Amino acid sequence: MDARVTSTAPGASTADVLTVRGLTVGFGDAPVLENLDLDVHAGEILGFVGGSGTGKTVLMRAILGLLPKRSGTIEVFGTDVDHVSDEERRQVGQRWGVLFQQGALFSSLTVRQNIQVPMREHLRLPRRLMDELALLKLELTGLPRDSADKYPSELSGGMTKRASLARALALDPELVFLDEPTSGLDPIGAAEFDDLIGKLRDTLGLTVYMITHDLDSLYTVCDRIAVLGNRKVLVTGTYGEMLTYDHPWVHAYFRGERARRIES
């Protein structure tokens, strides 16, 4: 396969935009995540992997404040989100964008209206300006202008992902969360989406937190990988570092037959 070399984020600093310490989240007796620590560095693309059901989405939702935690701290942009006013938390939320699994576009709204949902929620802008901004976001994500008036049901899988990404970028976020952005795309569509993520990171200076099962994405576009297992972040490091980490799941995932095909 095309071995695009994993780049280090241009101008990336070592500052962390997200710091999680001692996080425990659960629904019943046994927690899904327990005493979990994680750092996400400014300007990096962090790929998050782990077996099915290990809690990758639960972690993302807890960070976003959509799920309660039992203990631990979450700092975003240096702000402990538990110890701020509602207004300050709203301001933090304005600095991130989210692409949920399956896109989660509102089916009764056009693509333009979907992109404008966060704008309406957080900003007071004249309609014409919002329309112009929506077109700008469409262009950024490589969608044609005429897709603005389409409904989600009229979009292909790849277009749905791009429209969802355009909505995630609506407020010019510094940090974007992507939950399995390439799932359901064919390999060419997935590679194009990876390229897009890399370009947006480079041009907009984004920090990207990406949950994925896609080895190609991890290999080609992620600066660092975090592996979730045993209710914690087991290991973080580059793709190369994953190859030497001694854990059965990590070994099977990164040294398995599929991984060997990617590296060859």
Ligand X SMILES: Nc1ncnc2c1ncn2[C@@H]1O[C@H](COP(=O)(O)OP(=O)(O)OP(=O)(O)O)[C@@H](O)[C@H]1O
For the CA atoms of 209, 215, 220, 221, the dihedral, rounded to the nearest 10 degrees, stands at -10
Q: Which stretch binds ligand X (CB under 6 A): 8-16, 49-57, 194-202, 249-257?
A: 49-57
- Candidate list 5, 11, 30, 52; residue touching ligand X; CB under 6 A: 52
Q: Which stretch binds ligand X (CB under 6 A): 46-54, 73-81, 114-122, 165-173?
A: 46-54
Residue 38, beta-bridge partner list = 20
Contacts of 154 (CB under 8 A, 6+ apart): none
Give the nearest distance from C-beta 256 to ligand X in angstroms: 17
Report the C-alpha gap between 24 and 15 in whole angstroms.
Answer: 24
Tokens coding 222: 């992620």
CB 22 within 8 A of CB 37: yes
Report the C-alpha gap between 130 and 108 in whole angstroms.
Answer: 19
- Candidate list 55, 93, 173, 198; residue touching ligand X; CB under 6 A: 55
Give the nearest distance from C-beta 36 to ligand X in angstroms: 12
Q: How many residues bind ligand X (CB under 6 A)?
A: 10
Give the nearest distance from C-beta 68 to ligand X in angstroms: 10
Q: Which of 117, 64, 116, 63 is nearest to 233 (CA)?
A: 63
Residue with smaller CB distance to ligand X, 26 or 157: 26
> Is 103 near ligand X (CB under 6 A)?
no
CB 98 within 8 A of CB 75: no
- Candidate list 32, 119, 138, 176; residue touching ligand X; CB under 6 A: 32
Contacts of 115 (CB under 8 A, 6+ apart): 133, 134, 137, 138, 163, 166, 167, 170
Q: Which stretch binds ligand X (CB under 6 A): 37-45, 51-59, 186-194, 254-262?
A: 51-59
> Is 56 near ligand X (CB under 6 A)?
yes
Residue with smaller CB distance to ligand X, 63 or 166: 63
- Candidate list 11, 53, 68, 248; residue touching ligand X; CB under 6 A: 53
Report the C-alpha gap between 221 and 82 in whole angstroms.
Answer: 32
- Candidate list 58, 98, 168, 178; residue touching ligand X; CB under 6 A: 58
> Is 212 near ligand X (CB under 6 A)?
no
Binding footprint of ligand X on the chain (CB under 6 A): 27, 32, 50, 52-58
